[in-house]
Amino acid sequence: MDISLSQIKGIGPARLKAFEAAGIRTVRELTMFLPKEYRDLTATVPLAGLQPGDTAAVRVRVAGEPTERRAKRLLITKVYVTDDTDTIQVVWYNRPWLKKQLPPGRELLLYGKVEHKQGYISLVSPTVEQGEGLVPVYRSIAGIPPKALRQSVEVALKLCEGQWPDELPESLRRRYGLCERNFAMRNAHFPDSREALEAARRRIAFEELLLYQIALRLFRSTGREGVRIDFDDDAVDAFWQRLPFAPTNAQRRVLSEVAADLRAPKAMARMVQGDVGSGKTAIAFAAIALAYAGGWQSALMAPTEVLARQHYEAAAKLLAPLGIRVGLLVGSLTQKQHRLAHEAIANGEWDLAIGTHALITEGVEYRNLGLVVTDEQHRFGVRQRTMLSEKGDAPNVLVMSATPIPRTLSLILYGDLDISIVDELPPGRTPVATRIVPEAKRSDMYGFLRKEVAKGRQVYFVCPLVEESEAVEALPAEAVYEDLRTNRLPELRIELVHGRMKPADKDAALERFRTGEADVLVSTTVIEVGVNVPNATVMVIENAERFGLAQLHQLRGRVGRGTEASWCFLMAEPNQRLRFLASTTDGFKIAQKDMELRGPGELFGTRQSGALSAGLGSLAGDAELLKLTHDEARTLMADPDDSEAKAVIDLAKDRFADRLRDVAVN
């Protein structure tokens, strides 16, 4: 099973390189690349029964000649299809080969998203299906077409057929009713039935989650004696008194927990988790002030240059008056600036170094690093956090996350950390009014945007990530940008930002928006974290139904950061999920609801790939399974010499220990 992918027919040098870039090198690793979802072709829906927002399979025949037209960078293909109940329009984007495959009268099995466009029901970018049953859909890998990926997985499974050893003790499998491993692997990819799929997914999820949690506990138990930071008893109160605002009770409670950790002989490993705007940064700055009072250096690492610069500006205002010397180290500095920054860190001239991954590069030496802070924890991995902490002699580690993750899931994702929750927002934060806007109301919304910009305000437009998908396809950010610039809002200053841009170009566009040189910022979810523009009062989220609730809430948090009334417009047909989001601004309630509706896949996302098998996010589908594996891990670790426990612990070491240290979260 550990043979190279080059042994699979159809995987040449280019595809081999693409697989390697995705972390897949062997046949075994390819079989563990589990589907993110399944297309259910077992029950087709008559056209008359389609509702906006549905994802459905339909059996139809082509009712007329297909048409093509170009709009900016898009080639739009349309055709009418019919069955015995109705006739509807089908639309595809940038599929130039399709027109020849749609002769009138051809029978088709289509699967896709139903939308309400210009007063009519349409099927948008459906797949043309050849098979039956439950069809796997995999997370896309750049350079490998979806069909070729599915075929490669099928060949890999055949090569491994019957070879998966059942490494979990039989007593444990019987206790939890887990199916046999070979059955699970086959049915997780190409299920015989929905029941077989559920049994397979439960088996794989149980095993992976159990071993992952045991490995995290093993990783945590290796914690060394760390830097112990002493400071006066009144240092915490003294910091709060210097702030221009009164701290919330939640901030006071969490800082007390952090302060106790700093004074303890064991190195702190704590996550501060809180909703957007809950004041986590003030807690981090307070910890830095306590480290300074004890005579120690601190480092603060952010995922982007924009966020690092914002932290630098805030620290210069808040911490410099306390005598704390603050410096910035980011990749875009000149060679001379890099050299001077390295010297300032090494000789202790900087008490606080703020930066990006540049802080952990080779050649950066700290004089006496006592505290490491990483912002937006879900963007960093255990290994990156460890690399920064290894710059000193077991410094204290504080990580911050604005992703409000339910407590149960936190136990799984961050088992190597203590967790503090900032569950209170400061007074005076402007609530964001959220409205669902169907396509028919789009023109009215543009009129509202013009009025806001006329008042001197700014606007975000967020589009789904542009990623090849067999099931759905949204208009890319580039197309929305062109439409706004040339058609909808030509009088406004509009910038575009997306993940495929060069980092310098992306940062420059963000900076122009931040400084008010642009009225509108069209973006993918790269602005989900780290952009603080108090003057931005409106966020428009295109294809809102394609985002998870937790992510929509994160995006919504980019507005409402000033004193003016702020708005979030969700461009979609109303549904239960979006109505719930519009009804509350409580991030923890939203994250809990998201997990209930979708399973924790949205919270795992692709960020744990490398530590957990790709696709596990969608496998870990219920809180009961999370709790079962958490409790079982605790029981096994309580008696590690028991034969069953020893077998499982050894398996966890083999499966995860190295990967946990090396994983870099997305």
pLDDT at 409 over 70: no
pLDDT of residue 468: 35
The secondary structure of residue 278, as a DSSP letter, is: S
| Range with the largest mean pLDDT of 13-27, 294-308, 446-460 | 446-460
pLDDT of residue 412: 63
Q: For residue range 272-281, list pLDDT tens digits in order.
A: 988 878 899 9
pLDDT of residue 355: 94
Please give the residue that has the higher pLDDT: either 23 or 78: 78
Angle (nearest 5°) at CA 384 between 216 and 500: 120
Determine the average pLDDT of the residues in 632-652.
Answer: 93
pLDDT at 469 over 60: no
* Calpha distance 414→213 (Å, rounded): 9
Please give the residue that has the higher pLDDT: either 365 or 504: 365
What does the block give as tokens for 250?
Answer: 């939640």
pLDDT of residue 431: 81
pLDDT at 374 over 80: yes
* Calpha distance 622→129 (Å, rounded): 30
Our CA dihedral for 37, 40, 46, 51, rounded to 10 degrees, sits at: -20
Q: In terms of residues, how long is the chain? A: 666
- Distant-in-sequence, close-in-space partners of 21: CB < 8 Å, separation ≥ 6: 141, 142, 143
Can you tell me which residue has the tokens 């549904």?
575
375-406 as b/e, with b when 16 or more CB fall inside 10 Å?
bbbbbbbbbbbbbbbebbebbbbbbbbbbbbb
* Calpha distance 663→473 (Å, rounded): 30
pLDDT at 22 over 90: no
pLDDT of residue 618: 47
Strands of 315-383 (E only): list them.
Answer: 326-329, 352-355, 369-374
Q: CATH 2.40.50.140: which residues of the chain? A: 43-128
Q: For the chain, what percent of residues have pLDDT higher than 90? A: 52
Q: CATH 3.40.50.300: which residues of the chain? A: 432-584
Determine the average pLDDT of the residues in 653-663.
Answer: 64
pLDDT of residue 627: 77
pLDDT of residue 196: 96
Our CA dihedral for 492, 556, 537, 307, rounded to 10 degrees, sits at: -80
- The answer to whether 471 and 55 have CB atoms below 8 angstroms apart is yes
What does the block give as tokens for 646?
Answer: 């020893």
pLDDT of residue 295: 96
- The answer to whether 369 and 397 have CB atoms below 8 angstroms apart is no
Helix H, strand E, coil C: the string for 81-131 is: EECCCCEEEEEEECCCCCHHHCCCCCEEEEEEEEEEECCEEEEEEEEECCC
pLDDT of residue 386: 65
Strands of 490-542 (E only): list them.
Answer: 494-497, 520-523, 536-541
Q: What is the topology classification, in CATH, of domain 432-584?
A: Rossmann fold (3.40.50)
Long-range contacts of 496-501 (CB under 8 A, 24+ apart): 496/521, 496/522, 496/523, 497/521, 497/522, 497/523, 497/524, 497/526, 497/527, 498/466, 498/523, 498/524, 498/526, 499/465, 499/524, 499/526, 500/466
pLDDT of residue 622: 58
Of 255-269, 281-295, 364-378, 416-430, give the lowest mean pLDDT range. 416-430
Determine the average pLDDT of the residues in 55-80.
Answer: 91
pLDDT of residue 320: 93
pLDDT at 663 over 80: no
pLDDT of residue 598: 61
Determine the average pLDDT of the residues in 515-520.
Answer: 96
Q: For residue range 288-347, list pLDDT tens digits in order.
A: 999 999 999 999 998 888 889 889 999 999 999 999 999 999 988 999 999 999 999 999
Can you tell me which residue has the tokens 């009215």?
444
pLDDT at 609 over 60: no
The secondary structure of residue 325, as a DSSP letter, is: -
**Ranges of H-type helices in 469-574:** 477-483, 503-514, 549-556
Please give the residue that has the higher pLDDT: either 70 or 592: 70
270-279 as b/e, with b when 16 or more CB fall inside 10 Å?
bbbbbbbbbb
Determine the average pLDDT of the residues in 52-78.
Answer: 90
* Calpha distance 308→304 (Å, rounded): 6
Given pLDDT bands bounded at 50, 70 and 90, which one contains residue 611?
A: very low
pLDDT of residue 360: 81
* Calpha distance 388→406 (Å, rounded): 27
Architecture of domain 43-128: Beta Barrel (2.40)
H or E stretch at 368:
none
pLDDT at 506 over 50: yes
Determine the average pLDDT of the residues in 118-124.
Answer: 86
Q: For residue range 423-437, list pLDDT tens digits in order.
A: 888 877 778 999 999
Can you tell me which residue has the tokens 């295109």?
542
Question: For residue 99, what are the CA distances in angstroms to 57, 96, 109, 115?
Answer: 21, 7, 16, 21
pLDDT of residue 1: 67
Average pLDDT of the chain, as a whole number: 86
Q: How crowded is the C-beta side of 555, counted as CA atoms within 13 Å? A: 29
